[in-house]
Every structure is written in structure tokens, then in C-alpha cells.
Structure 1
Amino acid sequence: MSEQEYLDTEPYSPVKREYIDGNVYAMAGAKVAHNRIVGNVHGELRNHLKGKPCQPYMSDIKLKVGRNYYYPDVLVDCTNLPDNSVFSQAPRLIVEVLSKSTRRMDETTKRAAYMQLDSLLEYVLIEQD
């Protein structure tokens, strides 16, 4: 699938999908513990950043790295994204909550991709246990 085909079909997909090196990967639904952690991290960041130019976003905002698209659990972007934007390209912080099904990708493929971002100051992996 081409990058443009992914972008054209993603809004209509019944599941979120990441686009990595020309391949599309469906994302598994998260469990309650995962959602709770993501919500807590987002809430703390939102409170901390209130009144500042940076904003935290949860897992429905795509992250574009080169020609790939990911859905990090939480990211912080300081570029004043337009309200109609569906992806960030310059996050300062990325947070992934580890699970058995995502650990390997979060620790290898995603880490390598995220480290290519000049804007990134911190990549945080959170254990659920």
C-alpha cells in the first residue's frame, strides 16, 4: 500500500492502523489498565503544561516520521498544531505504555524511528506492572 492510499483509507478504517515501511499494521485494542495509565499520564501532562505553548495528545493523533505513521500512546507537541491536524511531526516527548503485544515494537522499531526526530527530547516507556 502506498503512503497516500494509507492516508486516504485510514479515516474510514474500523481499527487504527500504523503505516511502517509500506506495510499496514492493525493496532490491537487496549486493556483497562493500559487506558488508565495513558489517561493519567495525559492528565498530569495537561495540568503541568496548562498556559504553556506545548500540548499533550493521546493515542488518536498520528506521528509522522519520514514516510511512516505511528500512534504513540501520548505525545507532547509544541508547534501549535491546527485543530484539523491529524498528525504531529515534531513531538518533544513520546510516551508508550508497554504490553506483551507491543513491547518488542516499542523497544526496537519505534524507538529507532522516534530517535530520528530532531525535536524529540524524551522517549518514555512505562511498565504496566
Structure 2
Amino acid sequence: MISMTSGTPNHNQIALNFSAALNFSLKRQPYRVFISDQRLWIPKKPIYTYPDVMITPSNLQLQQGRKDTITNPIIIAEVLSNSTRNYDKDKKNAAYRTIPKFQ
């Protein structure tokens, strides 16, 4: 388990700006953009995580029995910080790559 504290203002602003740009760019496209408080389930690892930015098809797939946990992201972005860089680039990235539709 990796202990995570709340992000810095810079981390938050980067994630917000990136998600806003994606949301605007994908308007009227069959995709949805989510920010860091949206939970993701990765069954092959099995872990829950909260990516900074996540894009899914508009047809959401949720974890069985849950209404708050996505299972079908196609794109995930993480804002790297000194404290989480290695975990994000190694373990989380490897977990993300087990998601069937992940690009």
C-alpha cells in the first residue's frame, strides 16, 4: 500500500487544466473524461486506484455490484510528483496495461 496525501496546488492545477482541455476537445465525441476522485478497478492485479485523468468510452462499464467504480478506461494520465513518480511509472503503469481496452 502506498500512502497518498492530497496533491499540491500545482499538481491539482495541471490535472484540472489537462482534464478541462480534454473535456472540451472531446465534446460531442463518444467519450467521457473523469478526474482524480473517480475510482478505477483493475481486476487482473487486483487493485483500486484513482488516476488523475481518465477517458472512457461513453458506454461506461462499472465493477459488478458497484455504481462508483469504472473498469473500462481507454486513456489514463498521471501527474507525476517526486513522492509518487516511481509507483506511477512502474506499478500503476503495469497495472493499467492489463486493462483490455487501455490504449
- TM normalised by structure 2 equals 0.86
Structure possessing the higher relative contact order (Cα contacts under 8 Å, 6 or more residues apart): 2
Equivalent residue for 2:28?
51
For 1:29-61, what per-residue CA distance to the aligned partner results, in whole angstroms no more than 9, with x for missing partners?
Answer: 100110110001110110011111211000011
Q: Which runs of 5+ in 2 are unaligned?
A: none
- 1:88 Cα offset (Å): 1.2
**Mapping of residues 21-32 of structure 1, within 5 Å:** 24-32=1-9
Answer yes or no: is the 8 Å Cα contact 2:35–2:51 preserved in 1.
Answer: yes
List, as ranges, runs of 4+ consecutive aligned residues in structure 1 with deviation greater than 4 Å.
Answer: none
- 1:89 aligned to 2:63? no
Partners of 2:28 and 2:57 in 1: how far apart? 12
Equivalent residue pairs, number: 97
Higher strand proportion: 1
- 1:120 aligned to 2:102? yes
Answer yes or no: is the 8 Å Cα contact 2:60–2:72 preserved in 1.
Answer: no
Partners of 2:67 and 2:29 in 1: how far apart? 19
- 1:25 Cα offset (Å): 4.1
**Alignment RMSD, CA only?**
1.7
Partners of 2:80 and 2:2 in 1: how far apart? 17
- TM normalised by structure 1 equals 0.70
- Which of the pair has more CA radius of gyration? 1
Return the match for 1:68 from 47, 51, 56: 47
